[in-house]
Amino acid sequence: MPVIPPEQLAPLQSNQNNIRNFTLLAHVDHGKTTLADSLLATNGIISSKLAGTVRYLDFREDEITRGITMKSSAISLFFKIISEHRERAVEKDYLINLIDSPGHVDFSSEVSSASRLCDGAFILIDAVEGVCSQTITVLRQAWVDRIKMILVINKMDRLVTELKLSPIEAHYHLLRLIEQVNAVIGTFYRGELMNLDETEEETSDEGIYFSPEQGNVIFASAYDGWAFFLDQFSDFYEKKLGLKSSVLTKCLWGDYYLDPKTKRILQAKHLQGRRLKPLFVQFVLDNIWAVYNSAVVDRDLDKIEKIVKTLNIKVLPRDMKSKDPRNLLLAVFQQWLPLSTAILLTAIRKIPCPIDAQKDRALKVLKTTPHFENVDQNIATAMSNCNANKEEPMLAYISKMVAFSERDLPNQKRRQLTAEQMRELRQAKLAGSLEDSVGVLSINENEESNEAEENSENRYVNEEEEKDVFVGFARIYSGSISVGQQIYVYGPKYDPAKPDEHITKVTIESLYLMMGQELFALDTVPAGNVFAIGGLAGTVLRTATLCSVPGGPNLVGVTQQADPIVRVAVEPMRPYEMSKLVAGLEMLNQADPCVQIAAEENGEHVIMCAGEIHLERCLKDLRERFAKIEIQSSQPIVPFRETTVADPDMTAKDKDTPIGFVSTSLASGGVKIGISVTPLSSDLVNFLLNHEHTIELFMHHITKKTRNGDISFADLQKQKEEILSSEDFITSIHDLLAKDASDKSNLNEYLDSIMSFGPRRVGPNILIDKTGLMKKARHESDGSRLIAFDLAEYIITAFQISTQQGPLCAEPVQGICVSVDSIEIGDNGEENESLTVNNPQIPGQVISTVREAVKQGFLAWSPRLLLAMYSCDIQATAEVLGRVYGVVAKRRGRIVDEEMKEGTPFFNVKAVIPVVESFGFAVEILKRTSGAAYPQLIFHGFEMLDENPFWVPTTEEELEDLGELADRENIAKRYMLDVRRRKGLLVEQKVIEKAEKQRTLKH
């Protein structure tokens, strides 16, 4: 295939009906990048024989080393279809904008940024491994973004070469696989119906499921370079069987059989006991299996020659005699069932063009944006129609910022010579007139030949001075964008109701066509295209909305991502390079959509990442690309949570005082406060954790304050969680407390006295005022004397600090209720001159006193640590299953479920392991199983470690078994002390120095 130059692709951007924007989504190692190689080979970018091994779109060094994709890459391709119309050949040129996305869970943010820009997605599934954890994630992402999905069952060759399945067994295996995928889609559809309002109409489920006869399922082997959909075989057998292609397509999948005598198609109920093969097996799988059996399993060149002759294709003798069977397979399949043809034809037939896609999706997307009712309707109409006229308002969305080396920009590259120019240059060299030829060809006009040595000497210096330039990865929805045009950039906090805030006017400096790791300069980009935009590095941090007029929608407001779970502190090896580190961190923060950068109060710079592999990539980029200095990082910092529970054996120290009650006074005297701390039930804690936005709305009604200013019920309803009204929220808490038999503090009676939630005013801890005094506002008769109302804000502040930094290791607290039982102001009825509103010592004393009281009340119960947990999915054979169990147990994890995948030798093992024990887990699994198992870790939540960090043996049996020093290691205590050491907190631990030295006392 000849190379298609980018100059040939640029004119195709103006024909929106012939544009297809799609992405490849899948679980890790299910063949996305390998499939993309075959598509690139159609444009001559790589050799068709190397497709599947080059992994062209994985051009980072760590991607090549690990063999997984770590970031989204875009490339534009040319595809021509020649069809017959009225006995005349009609050519149609199509522009294919392809985005390859990662499959590893650590890079899920890259998946969302890719799908937001596309109109369709190919969902790849390994024919053997089936539906995996990340498969469900990418299906959900495509469902949420309302893009057309096409299922690709990849690695079909494994059914023949590894599982040794017969064609009939493979048929039933594929039936079950498609049913599993459709079951996942069904759960999304039912969940959507349950969340519909009464005013909204139910949507039909027609066309949402995958079915080969509908043309939205492709069977493929990307490594061997073949793929097909049913229409290809129905067209082939149409004349032989005398049936219409459309009828044959419906019968090629499912329980349909061909009567060999009557040549009629039968259903299963009409077989009358005859053992016939389904049409899909007889006409499709048998033929493919025959090629594999002849070329790989039982090598038979005579049979291969018959197959080649039957298919009317040409195979070179060197491929027939090649010792590598893959060469023969590629030679046969790339002519018979070329992968690129099946994928691209399906994309053109099933994925809508930008005009049709935006007509269906635009309004649904806009309704989820903040204050949609304030958006200029002209912009909404232009977006729905995908109008590319320059007079229409321009609307574009930047999903992420991508870092390119400055030398990779088109204006920095030397012009590539054509073959003719290279021949002329060679002849000029031979003739000894090199300088004249350089002048004629306009190559290096300003350089002289004697500068070549200096350039080579300065090459290292230039590499040192190379800079990274950020370009935006974008999609334009309406209008046209041109170089030199002035546009408005809407920040992530932009609100159409306040159009003058978070908006910046900029001038477009450069536009690019993305070709993998290369960029091609453009002057104008019309609506419906995916492109790159330069010159916005100082204006756009990660995502933004671009519009030619103010008053447009904020498309950034749609995205929601989970918070990173793994953190490390970084510092330069040479302290004087701190400024370079800070600049590098800012660039890393801009280049990676999932990473978060923070500067702690103690001066540490912290990187927060999604997982271990993501962390390694960030540190590598920081060292080699952005900061370009030597850095050292701390051990990974994992979050914990603190809580307290009621131990059945606990008794109060004082019979008259309940457990958790603390009575305390201010240091200056005059104010006495009674505080009670009680644990909350796990059901209530989970309810509060799942309704943060409801709590925010509830507290807004009480205090008229929120973290983000004014909010509306309509805005909150756009969030993923179910938003409850204040009355329903209190009723739900009341019902959960009523179910809790351990609740002895009668919290149900004081739900109308809730003062705050914490931490951050939306957390799973409750502050209640049982006195009712802090609600009574100040009157003129009170004068300047101190009353309970004045202490309310200080007590709330103390509560927020106490729940944000718990007493065990200064980690956030969850699951406690702090009650203010009594407030007494005044010393025995006598007036105290210090007890006035204007006393500056009162706030600090109240906050510190209440914090200490909450700490004592917390520790009076049985404290516990909550560990961050990973859910781990592992596929392994029976031979290595025991080793997998051993590694999980070593990491203090537990097996949750184990089931054998029907029709395969693989077991699906589901486990949970603590995040703090997970570092190096994947590498250890690979080593112990010799690469036969690979875990996929997904953040699961927090689980309680049921062990008191302050436990010591007290009973006779415990002392007899463990001794006074408790030889058994207290895991909770070890975790707690590790965190306290890291944070510089006091650690009470005996340290033995010079243990080998014996001290002898004189008698």
Contact 818, 765 (CB under 8 A): yes
Count of residues making up the chain: 1003
872 inside domain? yes
- Among 182, 114, 191, 187, smallest CA distance to 151 is for 182
Write out the two tokens for 522: 């453009």
Torsion, Cα 701 704 708 709, to 10 degrees, reads 130
CB 188 within 8 A of CB 140: yes
One domain for residues 923 and 960: yes
Model confidence band, residue 120 (pLDDT cutoffs 50, 70, 90): very high
Residue pLDDT, tens place only, 355-395: 999 998 888 888 888 888 888 888 889 999 998 888 899 99
58 and 157: one domain? yes
Residues 593 and 669 in one domain: no
Note if the bond before 278 is cis, omega within 30 degrees: no
Q: Residue 255 carries which DSSP code? A: S
Please report, rounded to a whole number, the percentage of residues in the chain having pLDDT higher than 70. Answer: 87
407 C-beta neighbours (distance < 10 Å), count: 12
Backbone angles phi, psi at 633, to 5 degrees: -120, 155
836 has which bridge partners? 785
Structure-block tokens of residue 391: 């007079």
Q: Is 939 or 463 the better-scoring residue by pLDDT?
A: 939
pLDDT (tens digit per residue) in 535-592: 887 888 888 999 998 888 888 854 445 567 888 999 999 999 999 999 999 999 888 8
Q: What is the CATH number of the domain that holds 26?
A: 3.40.50.300
Identify the band that residue 796 occupies on the pLDDT scale cut at 50, 70 and 90.
very high
Complete DSSP assignment for 907-951: EEEEEEEEGGG-TTHHHHHHHHTTTS--EEEEEEEEEEE-S-TT-
Answer whether residue 831 shows pLDDT above 60.
no
Same-domain check for residues 395 and 286: no
Beta strands 148-154 and 217-221, pairing class: parallel
Residue corresponding to tokens 């005059």: 670
CATH number of the domain that residue 920 is part of: 3.30.70.240
Q: Do residues 873 and 804 both lie within one domain?
A: no
- CB burial of 327-366 (b: ≥16 within 10 Å; e: otherwise) equals bbbbbbbbebbbbbbbbbbbbbebbbbbbebbeebbeebb
The last residue of a domain, from among 311, 337, 363: 337
In a domain, 259, yes or no: yes
Place of tokens 């998946």: 111
Residue 455 maps to a domain: no
Q: In the numeric block, which tokens belong to residue 280? A: 């899909």
Average pLDDT score over residue span 217-227: 93
Q: Taking the CB of residue 919, how many other CB atoms lie within 10 A of it?
A: 17
Six-digit token pair at 974?
Answer: 């070890």
- Per residue in 390-430, pLDDT tens? 889 999 999 888 888 887 788 766 666 667 777 787 788 77
In angstroms, rounded to a whole number, what is the distance separating the alpha carbons of residues 101 and 124? 11
Give residue 178's pLDDT.
95
The strand ranges marked E within 171-259 are 217-221, 226-228, 256-258
What's the pLDDT score for residue 958?
Answer: 66
Q: How many CB atoms lie within 10 A of CB 22?
A: 27
> Which residues, 6 or more positions from 914, have their beta carbon under 8 angstroms from its beta carbon?
867, 868, 869, 870, 891, 892, 893
- Please give the model's pTM, rounded to 2 decimal places: 0.81
CATH of residue 767:
3.30.230.10
| Residue 115 confidence class, pLDDT cut points 50, 70, 90 | confident
**Within-domain flag for 774:** yes
For residue 830, pLDDT beyond 60: no
Is 20 part of any domain? yes
pLDDT value of residue 449: 41
The CATH number given to whatever domain includes residue 600 is 3.30.70.870
Average of pLDDT values for 907-922?
91
Beta bridge partners of 897: 910
* Mean pLDDT of all residues belonging to the chain: 84
Q: Tell me the HSE value of 764 on the side-chain side, using a 13 A CA sphere.
A: 21
Q: Is residue 174 packed enough to be buried (19+ CB in 10 Å), middle (13-18) or exposed (0-12)?
A: buried
Chosen domain end from 327, 352, 377: 352
Classify the C-alpha dihedral 110-113-117-118 as positive or negative: positive
Residues 6+ apart with CB under 8 A from 973: 949, 950, 951
Pick the range with the lowest mean pLDDT from 121-125, 136-140, 411-415, 659-663: 411-415
Q: Are 896 and 888 in contact (CB under 8 A)?
A: no
**CATH code at 397?**
2.40.30.10
* Overall domain count for the chain: 6
Establish if 447 belongs to a structural domain.
no
Domain boundary (637, 663, 690) is at 637
The pLDDT > 90 percentage for the chain reads 36
Instruction: Give the DSSP H/E element, type plus range, for residue 149.
Output: strand 148-154
pLDDT score of 26: 92
How high is the pLDDT of residue 198?
64
pLDDT value of position 592: 84
Give the C-alpha separation, 410 to 520, whole Å: 6
What's the CA gap between 529 and 16, in Å, rounded? 8
Stretch among 210-219, 655-664, 859-868 having the lowest mean pLDDT: 655-664
Question: Residues 133, 113: one domain?
Answer: yes
More confident residue, 27 or 106: 27
Amino acid (1-letter code) at residue 866 = L
Same domain, 82 and 148: yes
The answer on 34 and 160 residing in a single domain is yes
CB 871 within 8 A of CB 912: yes
Residue 602: which of 976, 979, 981, 983 has the closest Cα? 983
Using DSSP bridges, classify how beta strands 510-515 and 530-534 pair: parallel, antiparallel or unpaired: antiparallel
479 close to 527: Cβ distance less than 8 angstroms: yes
Does residue 286 sit in the same domain as residue 347? no
Question: Interior CA angle at 279 toward 275 and 281, to 5°?
Answer: 80
Lowest mean pLDDT among 282-291, 808-817, 829-838: 829-838
> How far, in Å, CA of 215 to CA of 349, rounded?
9
Supply φ then ψ for residue 678, to 5 degrees: -130, 145
CB-CB contact of 472 with 401 (8 Å): yes
Residue 809's φ and ψ, nearest 5 degrees, are: -150, 30
Chain centroid to Cα 575, Å, comes to 35
Distance (Å, rounded) from C-alpha 264 to C-alpha 250?
14
Residue pair 307/291 in contact by the 8 Å Cβ criterion: yes
- Per the DSSP assignment, residues forming a β-bridge with 498 are 495
Which of the listed ranges 127-136, 283-292, 708-717 does the model predict with the highest average pLDDT? 283-292
Tokens at 648, concatenated: 């059945």
Instruction: Please determine, for residue 25, whether its predicted confidence score (pLDDT) is greater than 80.
Output: yes
Q: Which long-range contacts (CB under 8 A, 24 or more apart) does 579-583 make?
A: 580/627, 580/628, 580/629, 581/605, 581/622, 581/627, 581/629, 581/631, 583/626, 583/627
Amino acid (one-letter) located at 227: A
Which pLDDT does position 827 carry in this prediction?
54
Q: Is the pLDDT of residue 783 over 80?
A: no
The answer to whether position 818 is within a domain reads yes
Q: Which two tokens stand for residue 673?
A: 């406060």
Distance of alpha carbon 991 from alpha carbon 445, whole angstroms? 73
| Dihedral sign, Cα of residue 719, residue 722, residue 728, residue 731 | negative
pLDDT reported for residue 65: 80
**Strands 816-825 and 765-769, sheet pairing:** parallel
Contact of 623 with 632, CB cutoff 8 Å: no
What is the full DSSP assignment across 307-376?
HHHHHT----HHHHS-SSHHHHHHHHHHHHSBHHHHHHHHHHHHSPPHHHHHHHHHHHHHHTSTTGGGS-
Same domain, 383 and 258: no
Verify that 382 and 288 share a domain, yes or no: no
Q: What is the average per-residue pLDDT within 714-731?
A: 67
Q: Which of 663, 684, 686, 685 is nearest to 675 (CA)?
A: 663
Q: What are the contacts of 896-901 at 24+ separation with CB within 8 A?
A: 901/129, 901/130, 901/875
Q: Evaluate whether residue 106 is within a structural domain.
A: yes
Task: Say whether pLDDT at 712 is over 50.
Answer: no
Helices then strands, counting H and E runs in the chain, come out as 33, 33
**What pLDDT is attached to residue 922?**
87
Please give the torsion angle defined by the CA atoms of residues 983, 987, 989 and 995, in that order, rounded to the nearest 10 degrees: 50
Residue 38: helix, strand or coil by DSSP?
helix
At 457, list the tokens. Answer: 């000497």
pLDDT for res 525: 94
- In this structure, the answer to whether residues 142 and 270 fall within a common structural domain is no
Does the pLDDT at position 737 exceed 80?
yes
> Poorest-confidence range of 405-419, 532-546, 750-764, 877-891?
405-419
Tens of pLDDT, residues 309-335: 888 888 888 888 888 888 889 889 989
Rg (CA), the chain: 34
Q: Does the pLDDT value for residue 123 go beyond 70?
A: yes
- Residue range of the domain that includes 344: 1-197+207-225+338-352
**Cβ-contact 544, 556 below 8 angstroms:** yes
96-105, 593-602, 857-866, 915-924, range with the lowest pLDDT: 593-602
Confidence band (pLDDT; 50, 70, 90) for 998?
low
